[in-house]
Structure 1
Amino acid sequence: MRLILMSAVSALALSACGEPAGEAPQEETGAAETVGETALTYPETPTVDVADIYESAAEGEVAVADPYRWLEADVRQSEEVRAWVEAQNAVTFSYLDTLPGREAISERLTELYDYERFSLPEKEGGRYFFSRNDGLQDQSVYYVQDEAGAEPRMLLDPNTWSEDGTVALAGTWPSPDGRYVAYQVQDGGSDWRTIRVVDVETGEQLGDEIEWVKFSGVSWAKDGSGFYYSRYPEPEAGEEFTSLNLDQAAYFHTLGTGQGEDRLIISNPESPEVGWRVGETNDGNYLVIYSSKGTDGNGVRILDLSQPEAEPVVIFDGFANNHSYVGNDGESFLFFTDLDAPNGRVVRVDLSDPATLTDVIAEGEAPIQGVSFVGGHLVVERLEDVKSAVSVYTPQGEFVREVELPGIGTASGFSGEPDDAETFYAFTSFNRPTTIYRYDVETGQSEVFREPELTFNPDDYVVSQVFYESTGGVEVPMFIVHHRDVTPDGSQPTLLYGYGGFAISLTPNFSVSNLQWMEMGGVYAMANLRGGTEYGRDWHDAGRLFNKQNVFDDFINAAEELIDLGWTSPDNLAVYGRSNGGLLVGAVVNQRPELFAAALPAVGVMDMLRFNQFTAGRFWVDDYGSPQDPEMFDYLRLYSPYHNIEEGADYPAVLVTTADTDDRVVPGHSFKYIAALQAAETGDDPALIRIETRAGHGAGTPVSKIIEETADRWAFIARHTGLDLSAYGAEESEAGSGAAH
């Protein structure tokens, strides 16, 4: 069984509410901006007379106006919002069409993406299962290899499921005997999933189909008779993509039966905010039951499946810490936990004495990111100054060896069963596409299993790491990556990326898009802000709730460090972030608009007073706090991007990106934010929004759409950071520099 130190809902989620009844649009706003020789006239956005009453610790009852409330309505349900989207896109694409180099960027990106990519293989029943993309396929294809050395054969091709490539394969789970694969289908980027089952031998679809699954994997029974999963009740018609996600329950589905016959494992209607996940132990004798209320912290119970009348034994209660099952030997269980160990530890606990935890692998200075029990050993992944280090131990916690990694970067994988002789891991870095390695757990030997063919030289790109001081005297790491020919001259076009939240660590990772930015002459920087777990739970806690301003300070100080190091200037610096990172960009642009030339807030959480009203937004209270809490309301109101646009300030060029079918961070956030930004007097640079269709929050987005959106982003920030694209295109294609085929 594989453990990744990540909560059940590790990514952001948000939704758009229906158009308020009886609130007809009143006055209208519109604005025009001049950019060089191009005059932009933004669509007129009606306002409504709506205000919410909040309790403030400092002021008592406070009325907060929300003039663009009507833009929260689901695009699928509201003709008015749909018309507004079309009008905004018309202005945005008219502007993007004028940008030099946009077509050349798109053509070059298409060349760069055209290389073979593989997922980590999964071994079940002697068969190997993996995904492969030949380069430009919108969706990766799922294959099975019946034994080592056999010719792989296609099992599932999601490219045939829709004409536009927006129906994706969102997860696969082979049965323990390798006979079946349960898989999830994602339509148009939505977080809702449908579970189906395919026969591996024949390729035929079974009749099993399960709807209304969200934030859930699939866990097979060891006998292959069926599987466990979690789902929500069917939403009311018209509220599928807006209503809060409550009452998640765990079920067991027996193959060959209808969803209505699935056996309820556990739920708690009296506490609808609690969600459940379950799965059998490696030996199939016990059921591990997880409970959670948000994105941080979970409870754990163990149920003895051999005793029909047994009650679950509580191992970890409440939601204050994170715990995950690693393995067991009878009633003796191994868990990963951050209880009394901010950097994590592996403990042993016996069912006969669940209150006693014994260290197997004690907490160290480097935070643990993942633990697996494979090949009779424990494989522990850590981060050492945001770079992977992997160690192997006996089940008793005795150190065996370090895994010799091929360089400085990110290693992931190491999944499998306790009796597997082999496991697989992926390794990547900023200048190194993902290579898959086979690892012999007994001997410690690694060998290349699959690697991409490169037509660029990784040594042409320089990766460095710096540490800079931020609020409270904290040292924050930042990676700086660029082509070897690019040197600090005080005016290099630079893109700074960040996230800073939800215990998500940003580690070295290869990106075709980022490679192209550097190939064009740009500098790429990634700051490891507080709010992630690059340095364990304490690093996360230092960037959430009443510490959230630390995240913004870290990002601002990263920008100033790039300037102080002589790389760039405020006239040449762009910032980019997605989801919680979109909130980050929106907040820092409000706080320091003069520091940046361009900003790319993508699928961002922009209304911090209403984020918890839709879909899974309620989970994020763990990181953000609740706006219904008077003290938290005062804090959230101080940095909410939608509520803090500074009238009359000279803002950078802003290109907001979102998707009309995003039901995680619903597009209403971005819609309201850009409407307010366009209505304010914020200088001469453009404030635009690019709204993708059927693309969701990001997962499952077709390669063709990724290329189109990236080309628009890069052309936009190139224009506003001074990156000269006049000669870009033909000479790069001819030289082949930077291509990964």
Structure 2
Amino acid sequence: MAPLLKSNVISFMPEVMPCKSRMWPLTYPRFERDETCIESMHGHKIPDPYRPLEVPKARATQEFIASQVELTKSVLSTCDTKEKLRERITAVYDYPKSSCPYRRGNKCFYSHNSGLQAQSVLYMQDSLDGEAEVLLDPNTWSEDGTKSLEIMKFSSNAEYLAYGQSSSGSDWITIKVIHVADKITLDDTLSWVKFSSLAWTHDNRGFFYNRYPKPTMNEIEDEGTETDSNLFQELRYHFLGTDQSQDILCWRDSEHAQWFSRAEITDDGQYLVLSIEESCDPVNRLYYCNLSTLPQGLEGLRQNKEHLPMIKLIDNFDAQYELVANEGSLFTFLTNKDAPKNKLTRVSLDDPSSWKDVVPESESDVLTSADLVNRQQLVLCYMSDVKHLLQLNDLQSGHLLQKLPLEIGSICEISSRPEDADFFYSFTSFLTPGIIYRCDLSSGTPDLSVLKETKIANWDRSLFEIRQEFATSKDETRVPMFVVAKKGLVRNGDHPAVLYGYGGFNVSLMPYFSVSRLVLVQHYGAVVATANTRGGGEYGEKWHKAGALANKQNCFDDFIACGEHLIKEGYTQNKKLCIEGGSNGGLLVAVCINQRPDLFGCALAHVGVMDMLRFQKFTIGHAWISDYGCADIAEEFDWLIKYSPLHNVKRPWENGTKSIQYPATMLFTADHDDRVVPSHSLKLLATLQYELCTSLDNSQQTNPIIGRIETKAGHGSGRPTMKIIDEMVDAYSFFAKMTDSAWIE
């Protein structure tokens, strides 16, 4: 694809519309509206005048993007604290970041970033304290750091590593294979892989992976910029040393185009376990195959052109089942079956109708993960009021053995193997960059030690304090949120504030370390809050469902209530309150500025789902129907049309209150976002600017409405460090300008 047009190559600038501004005169790009584009849906006429923006490579789309880029540059150039912010964020961000070590074969591996490297590097050691050597360095894959390592899996003896390369943040990956001992990359190259698992058979001859058919584009110039719906995912098996065209098609459901799968090989190498999903809902079907019963092995399937003979253990979408461990035909699963806060259950494949609970559902806490270690012990991680707890249980009886000490915060990674007598876990919090612990069980009593603790130079955590507070939502539901502020903050209502939220897809916003937000607290005197609204998983599946489908409005009510709480408690005031979110959180922000434009002074909406009537038509959008519903169904259309950001932009000053306008708003998207395609943000941007920022005499919109459109980037994953910093700087210097926040040394 030709690069996005920049100012020096634009053939002509689109027509612009002047807008009054309290700080500068702005001219807004005008995209030619197609007034004939009107769709009939369930008795309603739905105008969609900006539908041409759904064609990313069209000349008009590219010119609209280029003019928006220039507009945003002009606004950001007036943010007088931008360079100070860049200098400080870059300095604080420059600290070492490491993953937990994990053992494979007879070696140890871990990922590490020295501070400002574009991508983290994969290292290997002969032992935990052995000399580290580089196995894979993604920084050598591209000059600008936009190629990233997105997925990897070692063979059972760690002789080989299969790994996926992503370009420009796209969800598409290319799988390569490296011979670990001599670091030689094989010729094997697998394309059109997306949302894939990797599972090696224990003979180390090859692995299972997932791929989609090649997109049906007229000309594929740059994967990740197409908008085709991702349908008919396949499970295939690749033999090392062969061409991808010879891979075995092991599973594909030709009657259910939207289903996708995830394959695992049990630790004993005997079984392939296939989890089949149709959406983002925490439910799945569960099939398995005893690989030892294949008369000619997998090679026989290729010769006979047969699919893998799968046995259906669970053949409905009533609950979620995640494999924890097996002892021969006896399997242990983490499940939400009749347990919204999750439990551990067990079944024998010899008697698949008889299930027995091993660790029952907790009355108060959510079981988030279970890992087997030391053959017979389970490391269980629970979430209690949005804080993690860690404990050891017995595999056979399920009984609690010991609770492990843990500060208030989050477990972001657990690394274990059934055959090892120790395991590792990584802890973080709002004020803790990262601590990696080793827990040794060889003596029978857990022996905890700090393996690695991240330190940041010239940064004092004692300057800050954390509170967990509860807002009261519209229906009296208590909504938790964390508030980060300077210690001893005087609640005089005069502080700038950022309220961050997500609220969907069973995702829990746990305490985590953020350089940029701590810089806001330190150098702008800001208050930073994280809202745990319904729709997330903070209190289990009931909390999730209370903010999904017909209940989606609860998410927005909860977030609005959190904003009102910050004002009521004296942390901030309307004109200094900024809301921020990404993806589903971008939707959250866009809905809230439509519904309560008076409540906020600034809004930052990253890669949001903005067109709720058409999201299911692009890439993997159909998987989100489980949380949103689908406009093709009349009842669900009625839910969606009420809050869809694109369809609810209204001039607030026409409702009798002339002083109300939309907050200063920045929408973020990227040219290779093939998760939430850029047209979502582009169409909403055009609509906001047209409806609010016109030259009509009665327009009250003086706050800027702009878009930040990144190149060679996607939905967020794999973004190189400097692109991450650039976005932080642009977002928060805009926030500071719009909330009149002065820099504090």
Is the TM value for this pair above 0.5?
yes
- Number of the residue aligned with 1:137: 117
More displaced, 597-606 or 46-55? 46-55
More displaced, 301-310 or 260-269? 301-310
Alignment of 1:445 with 2:463, yes or no, is: no
Q: Letter of the aligned partner of 2:183 in structure 1?
A: G
Number of aligned positions between the proteins: 693
> What fraction of aligned residue pairs are identical, expressed as a percent?
41
Aligned equivalent of 1:255, options 240, 243, 260: 240
Q: 1 CA distance for matches of 2:497 and 2:681?
A: 24
Q: 1 CA distance for matches of 2:267 and 2:528?
A: 43
Alignment of 1:217 with 2:197, yes or no, is: yes
Q: Which runs of 4+ in 1 moved over 6 A?
A: none
Q: Letter of the aligned partner of 2:399 in structure 1?
A: E
Displacement, 1:513? 1.3
**Is the CA contact (8 Å cut-off) linking 1:254 and 1:262 kept in structure 2?**
yes
- Number of the residue aligned with 1:9: none
Q: Letter of the aligned partner of 2:338 in structure 1?
A: D
- Number of the residue aligned with 2:76: 96
**Is the CA contact (8 Å cut-off) linking 1:501 and 1:544 kept in structure 2?**
yes
- Number of the residue aligned with 1:714: 732
CA deviation string 1:657-712 (max 9, x = no partner)? 11111111011000000100001126110000010101100001111111111111
Q: 2 CA distance for matches of 1:413 and 1:401?
A: 20
CA deviation string 1:553-610 (max 9, x = no partner)? 0000000011111101101100000000000000010000000000001100000000
Displacement, 1:84? 1.1
Q: 2 CA distance for matches of 1:290 and 1:401?
A: 31
- Number of the residue aligned with 1:197: 177
Within 5 Å, which residues of 2 pair with 1:144-223? 144-223=124-203
**Is the CA contact (8 Å cut-off) linking 2:381 and 2:388 kept in structure 1?**
yes
Within 5 Å, which residues of 2 pair with 1:357-436? 357-364=355-362, 365-376=364-375, 377-396=377-396, 397-405=398-406, 407-436=407-436
**Is the CA contact (8 Å cut-off) linking 2:37 and 2:51 kept in structure 1?**
no
Within 5 Å, which residues of 2 pair with 1:66-77? 66-74=48-56, 77=57
- Number of the residue aligned with 1:588: 592
Within 5 Å, which residues of 2 pair with 1:13-162? 30-56=16-42, 61-74=43-56, 77-162=57-142
- Number of the residue aligned with 1:488: 491
Alignment of 1:556 with 2:555, yes or no, is: no
Displacement, 1:362? 0.2
Within 5 Å, which residues of 2 pair with 1:644-683? 644-649=648-653, 650-681=661-692, 683=701
- Number of the residue aligned with 1:20: none
**Is the CA contact (8 Å cut-off) linking 2:275 and 2:286 kept in structure 1?**
yes
- Number of the residue aligned with 1:724: 742
Displacement, 1:29? 7.1
CA deviation string 1:471-529 (max 9, x = no partner)? 33211110000121533111210000000000100000001111111111111000100
Q: Letter of the aligned partner of 1:42 in structure 2?
A: Y
More displaced, 42-51 or 680-689? 42-51
CA deviation string 1:450-476 (max 9, x = no partner)? 222233222221011011221332111
Aligned-partner SS, 1:705: helix
Displacement, 1:438? 1.4
**Is the CA contact (8 Å cut-off) linking 2:100 and 2:415 kept in structure 1?**
no
More displaced, 478-487 or 613-622? 478-487
More displaced, 298-307 or 42-51? 42-51
The alignment's TM-score, normalised by the length of structure 1, stands at 0.91
Displacement, 1:648? 4.4
Q: 2 CA distance for matches of 1:466 and 1:345?
A: 28
The alignment's TM-score, normalised by the length of structure 2, stands at 0.91
Displacement, 1:73? 1.0
Displacement, 1:178? 1.9
Aligned-partner SS, 2:20: strand
Unaligned runs of 5+ in 1: 1-27, 732-741
- Number of the residue aligned with 1:543: 547
Displacement, 1:436? 1.4
Displacement, 1:404? 1.4
CA deviation string 1:380-425 (max 9, x = no partner)? 11100000001111112011111212x1000133333211112111
> Compared with structure 1, are the counterparts of its residues 217 and 312 closer, same or farther at alpha carbon in structure 2 (3 Å cutoff)?
closer
- Number of the residue aligned with 1:281: 266
Q: 2 CA distance for matches of 1:469 and 1:355?
A: 44
Q: 2 CA distance for matches of 1:418 and 1:398?
A: 18
Displacement, 1:49? 2.8
Q: Which has the higher contact order (CA 8 A, sep 6+)?
A: 1
More displaced, 342-351 or 318-327? 318-327
Aligned equivalent of 1:243, options 228, 237, 253: 228
More displaced, 371-380 or 500-509? 371-380
- Number of the residue aligned with 1:604: 608
**Is the CA contact (8 Å cut-off) linking 1:50 and 1:69 kept in structure 2?**
no
**Is the CA contact (8 Å cut-off) linking 1:29 and 1:47 kept in structure 2?**
no
**Is the CA contact (8 Å cut-off) linking 2:21 and 2:701 kept in structure 1?**
no
**Is the CA contact (8 Å cut-off) linking 1:30 and 1:678 kept in structure 2?**
no
Displacement, 1:544? 0.3
Aligned-partner SS, 1:566: coil
Aligned equivalent of 2:581, options 573, 577, 592: 577
**Is the CA contact (8 Å cut-off) linking 2:161 and 2:178 kept in structure 1?**
yes
**Is the CA contact (8 Å cut-off) linking 1:282 and 1:417 kept in structure 2?**
no
Aligned-partner SS, 1:215: strand
- Number of the residue aligned with 2:514: 511
Q: 2 CA distance for matches of 1:340 and 1:579?
A: 30
Q: 2 CA distance for matches of 1:534 and 1:258?
A: 45
> Compared with structure 1, are the counterparts of its residues 471 and 354 closer, same or farther at alpha carbon in structure 2 (3 Å cutoff)?
farther
**Is the CA contact (8 Å cut-off) linking 2:30 and 2:690 kept in structure 1?**
no
Aligned-partner SS, 2:475: helix
Q: 2 CA distance for matches of 1:414 and 1:431?
A: 20
More displaced, 162-171 or 697-706? 162-171
Displacement, 1:146? 2.1
Q: 2 CA distance for matches of 1:52 and 1:530?
A: 34
Q: 2 CA distance for matches of 1:589 and 1:717?
A: 15
Q: 1 CA distance for matches of 2:421 and 2:38?
A: 60
- Number of the residue aligned with 1:6: none
- Number of the residue aligned with 1:499: 502
CA deviation string 1:68-112 (max 9, x = no partner)? 0011112xx322211111110001011101111001111111111
**CA RMSD across the alignment:** 1.5
Aligned-partner SS, 1:42: strand
Q: 1 CA distance for matches of 2:319 and 2:504?
A: 16
Displacement, 1:54? 4.5
Q: Letter of the aligned partner of 1:371 in structure 2?
A: A
Unaligned runs of 5+ in 2: 1-13, 296-307, 654-660, 693-699
> Compared with structure 1, are the counterparts of its residues 637 and 332 closer, same or farther at alpha carbon in structure 2 (3 Å cutoff)?
same
Aligned-partner SS, 2:29: coil
CA deviation string 1:233-274 (max 9, x = no partner)? 111234752111100011111111111111122111122121
> Compared with structure 1, are the counterparts of its residues 374 and 223 closer, same or farther at alpha carbon in structure 2 (3 Å cutoff)?
farther
**Is the CA contact (8 Å cut-off) linking 1:120 and 1:426 kept in structure 2?**
yes
> Compared with structure 1, are the counterparts of its residues 404 and 37 closer, same or farther at alpha carbon in structure 2 (3 Å cutoff)?
closer
- Number of the residue aligned with 1:736: none
Within 5 Å, which residues of 2 pair with 1:523-534? 523-534=527-538
Q: Letter of the aligned partner of 2:192 in structure 1?
A: W
Q: 2 CA distance for matches of 1:393 and 1:207?
A: 45
